[in-house]
Amino acid sequence: MNWKKYYDEKISTPEQAIKDIHDGDCVVMGHAAAAPRIIQRAMAEHCEDYNDVMIFHMTTLGDNECLHPRCYGHFRHVSNFLAANSREAVNHLAGDFFPAYFKDVPEMIGDEIPCEIAAFQATPPNDEGYCSLGVSCDYALAAIRRARSVIIETNDRMPFVYGNTMIHVSQIDRIIPCSYQLPELHSAKPSEVEAAIGHFCSTLVSDGSTLQLGIGAIPNAVLNSLGEKNDLGIHSEMFSDGVADLMKKGVVNGRRKTIHKGKVVATFIMGTKELYEFVDGNEDIELYPVDYTNNPFVIAQNYRMISINSCLEVDLMGQVASESIGMRQYSGIGGQIDFVRGASIAREGKSILAMPSTAANGAISRIKPFLTPGSAVSTTRNDVNYIVTEYGIARLKGRTLKHRAEDLIRIAHPDFRPTLIEEYERRFRCKFEN
Ligand code: COA
């Protein structure tokens, strides 16, 4: 089949492409650094032509112009993971939060998440007419399979990434050739508190482990503390600069992985320009759809699987809130519980949830008698394993309520221990012994 014959017919301007979107449609948009920025801009510029168009997206790195207030009323944002640029629109004014595990998104597309339009980025086609979805694989293939119209920005600065990331030109309805630098995520140098947390987490990582690291400052600090380890592997949702640094040092080599030996496996890549250059055409890195990477039964096949994620607060029973602060939806569950459960089934697996002991410049303890009213429980007390703060490690798995409370109080900030001890003594009707 000579794909070049129909390739030219599919080339569209952004304005032509967005004419495929009709009132009442749902547009499923690419994730993180692979969000389709030209389509977002064109839609935002023409927002007044649209009524009640639902946009499903997760994090958009950089500016998503469809989230600007002038688009409210024209676009309805539905998302299961919020970030600074989408919190306001989704929580209050122009959308609704959609509680769902990241791994379930591909299966929901076309059903619970209608998908008339799929709008994504990819590389320009290779000689056989295949484009790589580049840095975000996650739910793209599911949307491309289900959509009435598939609109792809073929960005010549999108890295070519191996794995299950290929789509053929014949699957695309509108092609927008373009060239722009992917938006970057720069991580700040870990603070003293984060470095201490990173150090405690690193003591739980033995050589030959396969790691998953989540989003936020803490997973970065952990990566910085792993330089002396050997033969680590990665099976993760996200792939970041810290992992690339450990690959360059030879610490991450996947030699002892029990599935995908020698390969770093993830579903999306988010970081700096240097990271995007590092992954381009790199055969050691493979992306797969999120319903594969985040499936607990796949995760569990990794020997010494260790998941390391961050959370917002923990109550004295070990219930963990990672995505909301009271009624305020802050982010989403992503793959946290899937990796917690996968790691707990894996041979010699562990899951770690880490956080600074306080928030709001020390004014609030993140270890609390009760979660803030309205907070969603992300990881239940039955699933939780290790909790880490800058004061140490509490292993909650296999511990009674009383012992959990004692261990959590020991890793709480000293300023808040007296209040927590008071609650402990009231609850368990006995003296707290340090
Ligand atoms: N009460 C009030 N405010 C709180 C709080 C609490 N219990 N906990 C945190 N905050 C505030 C912080 O002070 C901070 O405020 P600031 O931005 O004004 O400084 C803000 O909330 C964010 O907290 P922080 O700890 O800095 O968050 P982070 O950027 O490191 O992200 C999570 C942490 C938990 C939000 C993030 O890891 C997440 O979304 N996790 C769930 C998903 C997941 O684990 N996925 C894993 C697979 S990739």
Closest residue to atom 8 of ligand 1, CA basis:
312
Tell me how far apart the alpha carbons of residues 387 and 311 are, in angstroms, rounded to a whole number. 9
Pairing of strands 285-287, 162-163: parallel
Tell me how far apart the alpha carbons of residues 197 and 203 are, in angstroms, rounded to a whole number. 10
Active site residue 237: yes
Question: Ligand 1: residues whose CB is within 6 Å?
Answer: 214-218, 237-238, 309-313, 322-323, 325, 330-331, 333-336, 359-360, 364, 366
Pairing of strands 210-213, 305-310: parallel
Closest residue to atom 9 of ligand 1, CA basis:
312
**CA 36, 41, 44, 49 torsion: positive or negative?**
negative
Query: Residue by residue, what is the 3-state secondary structure of 318-383?
Result: CCEECCEECCEECCCCCCHHHHHHHHHHCCCCEEEEECCCEECCCCEECEECCCCCCCCCCECCCC
pLDDT in tens, the chain (434 residues): 689 888 999 999 999 999 999 999 999 999 999 999 999 999 999 999 999 999 999 998 999 999 999 999 999 999 999 999 999 888 877 799 999 999 999 999 999 999 999 999 999 999 999 999 999 999 999 999 999 999 999 999 999 999 999 999 999 999 999 999 999 999 889 999 999 999 999 999 999 999 999 877 899 899 999 999 999 999 999 999 999 999 999 999 999 999 999 999 999 999 999 999 999 999 999 999 999 999 999 999 999 999 999 999 999 999 999 999 999 999 999 999 999 999 999 999 999 999 999 999 999 999 999 999 999 999 999 999 999 999 999 999 999 999 999 999 999 999 999 999 999 999 999 999 98
Tell which atom from ligand 1 comes closest to the C-alpha of 310: 37
Please give the distance, rounded to the nearest whole angstrom, from the Cα atom of residue 301 to the centre of ligand 1. Answer: 29
Query: Distances in Å between the alpha carbon of 256 and those of 210, 302, 304?
Result: 8, 9, 10
Please give the distance, rounded to the nearest whole angstrom, from the Cα atom of residue 325 to the centre of ligand 1. Answer: 9
Radius of gyration of the chain (CA): 22
Tell which atom from ligand 1 comes closest to the C-alpha of 81: 39
Tell which atom from ligand 1 comes closest to the C-alpha of 359: 13
Ramachandran angles phi, psi of 382, nearest 5°: -80, -20
pTM: 0.96
